[in-house]
């Protein structure tokens, strides 16, 4: 991605810099200006917003639409999804957004999530039982990735024998391989067939799970839930429920491995873990960018007028490291005042699964620290590889020993 701003701005920055050194790159961009005109590798333009106050205000601005139909022709650069996967909350404004969100919000209330604590804890124990005798493992593949996919599959009611390689599918969409463009298309086909078949099975044999409940709502005509909306909702719950949590757990563990004193503190005082998770998410969260937005009219952001229909990218990663809001932002400090942390968004699009994601991460970290006191990186830090995406901040693997 090239960044072309006014004369005197930093040299052009490409995607590799935002992956290799996202926070240093964003710091330079914040310093040079609040909003930057950017051009992706495909030549499509966008506006990148970097400062906390502007990002927070824009997240809740009703003039910034999530609906791709409000994009100028040829302006939206995302991978095209079929309607059966695209009619979801990440592509909706009110009133449709309000209607669909109301159907699932009860599944993610703090009270409902609290009942999941013991099953999540038992899952973490079982996963560590399996790998502990080995003395080493890739913690992403064997633990951080398996916790959220198991939890969200159980919630939706995905049979164990049908739990396919969701990680491969999400990687193909979020971090596509330029050398293998067919993988994204193949992943979409696999997902469409999977979700269609899963819904058909719930319709034939309902069970005590969230997807069966949604199928019942759709069949009874409540809230006008269409077939495409039902399929898209199942897709989003599983996709987002996995994608964000696996990276939050992985990034948090890495932060601890690099700070043994903090690891010892949290092991000795597990009650401090919830506050630490919020700081991990601020410091190195799983979603560097909010979902793209399209102005319904010309909108001024940070003193810059963004024309209607153009793509706006709100940098959560940059906002959460803005020294204007978080003093000494590049220091990881679980005791800091984290009020205003934007890792879960702000406004009506605030993350629906916030409570569940927090709970999974807290339990995963507490169990890991208690069970594997000798945890250490198995490779030099410079050999760790990050997913090649500026939209998702996560490790490809995390080799550890204990």
390: burial class by Cβ within 10 Å (0-12, 13-18, 19+)?
buried
Residue 12, pLDDT score: 46
SS (H, E, C) 110-178: HHHHHCCHHHHHHHHHHHHHHHHHHCEEEHHHHHHCHHHHHHHHHHHCCCHHHCCCHHHHHHHHHCCCC
- CA pair distance 101, 146, nearest whole angstrom: 26
Task: Identify the CA nearest to 193 among candidates 201, 182, 183.
Answer: 201
Per-residue pLDDT of 186-233, as tens digits, reads 888 888 999 999 999 999 999 989 999 999 888 887 667 899 999 999
Residue 8, pLDDT score: 38
Residue 160, pLDDT score: 86
**Cross-strand pairs, 312:** 47, 293
- CA pair distance 385, 376, nearest whole angstrom: 17
Residue 40, pLDDT score: 61
Angle between helices 354-371 and 146-156 (to 10 degrees): 140
- CA pair distance 209, 112, nearest whole angstrom: 13
Instruction: Work out the end-to-end distance of the chain between its first and last CA atoms, rounded to an integer number of angstroms.
Output: 40
What global pTM score does this model have? 0.92
Longest dimension (CA), the chain: 64
- CA pair distance 70, 312, nearest whole angstrom: 12
Per-residue pLDDT of 386-396, as tens digits, reads 988 888 899 99
Omega before residue 95 within 30° of 0, cis: yes
Q: Supply φ then ψ for residue 83, to 5 degrees.
A: -55, -30
Strands (E), 270-320: 294-295, 299-301, 304-306, 312-314
Residue ranges of domains in the chain: 2-401
Q: For residue 183, what are the contacts with CB-CB under 8 A and spacing of at least 6?
A: 172, 176, 177
Q: For residue 352, what are the contacts with CB-CB under 8 A and spacing of at least 6?
A: 89, 101, 104, 105, 108
User: What does each of the 402 residues of the chain score in pLDDT, given as a tens digit?
Assistant: 444 444 333 344 456 677 778 999 999 999 999 999 887 656 678 899 999 999 999 999 999 999 999 999 877 656 678 888 889 999 999 999 999 998 888 888 888 888 899 999 999 999 999 999 999 999 999 999 999 999 999 999 998 888 877 777 877 777 667 677 788 888 888 889 999 999 999 999 999 899 999 998 888 876 678 999 999 999 999 888 999 999 999 999 999 999 999 999 999 999 999 999 999 999 999 999 999 999 999 999 999 999 999 999 999 999 999 999 999 999 999 999 989 999 999 999 999 999 999 999 999 999 999 999 999 999 999 999 998 888 889 999 999 999
Residue 402, pLDDT score: 96
Q: Which fold has domain 2-401?
A: Cytochrome p450 (1.10.630)
């Amino acid at each position: 991605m090239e960044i072309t701003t006014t004369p005197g701005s930093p040299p052009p920055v490409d995607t590799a810099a935002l992956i290799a050194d996202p926070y240093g790159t964003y710091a330079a961009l914040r310093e040079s200006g609040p909003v930057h005109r950017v051009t992706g590798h495909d030549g499509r333009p966008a506006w990148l917003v970097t400062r906390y106050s502007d990002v927070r205000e824009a997240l809740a601005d009703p003039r910034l639409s999530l609906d791709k139909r409000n994009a100028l022709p040829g302006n939206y650069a995302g991978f095209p999804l079929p309607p059966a996967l695209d009619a979801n909350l990440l592509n909706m404004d009110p009133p449709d957004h309000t209607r669909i969100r109301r159907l699932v919000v009860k599944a993610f209330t703090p009270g409902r999530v609290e009942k999941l604590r013991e099953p999540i804890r038992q899952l973490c124990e079982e996963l560590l039982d399996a790998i502990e005798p080995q003395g080493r493992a890739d913690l992403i593949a064997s633990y951080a990735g398996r916790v959220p996919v198991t939890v969200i599959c159980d919630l939706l009611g995905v049979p164990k024998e049908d739990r396919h390689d969701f990680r491969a599918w999400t990687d193909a969409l979020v971090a596509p391989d330029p050398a293998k463009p067919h993988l994204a298309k193949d992943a979409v086909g696999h997902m469409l067939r999977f979700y269609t078949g899963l819904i058909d099975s719930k319709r034939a044999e309902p069970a005590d799970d969230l997807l069966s409940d949604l199928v019942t709502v759709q069949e009874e005509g409540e809230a006008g839930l269409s077939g495409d909306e039902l399929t898209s909702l199942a897709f989003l719950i599983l996709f987002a429920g996995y994608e964000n949590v696996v990276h939050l757990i992985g990034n948090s563990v890495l932060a601890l491995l690099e700070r043994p004193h903090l690891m010892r503190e949290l092991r000795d005082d597990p009650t401090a873990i919830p506050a630490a998770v919020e700081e991990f998410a601020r410091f190195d969260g799983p979603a560097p960018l909010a979902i793209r937005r399209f102005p319904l009219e010309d909108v001024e952001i940070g003193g810059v007028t963004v024309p209607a229909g153009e793509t706006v990218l709100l940098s959560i990663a940059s906002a959460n490291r803005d020294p204007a809001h978080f003093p000494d932002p590049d220091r990881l400090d679980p005791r800091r005042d984290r009020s205003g942390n934007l890792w879960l968004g702000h406004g009506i699009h605030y993350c629906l699964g916030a409570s569940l994601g927090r709970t999974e991460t807290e339990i995963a970290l507490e169990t890991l620290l208690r069970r594997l006191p000798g945890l250490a990186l198995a490779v030099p830090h410079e050999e760790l590889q990050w997913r090649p995406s500026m939209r998702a901040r996560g490790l490809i693997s995390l080799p550890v020993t204990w």
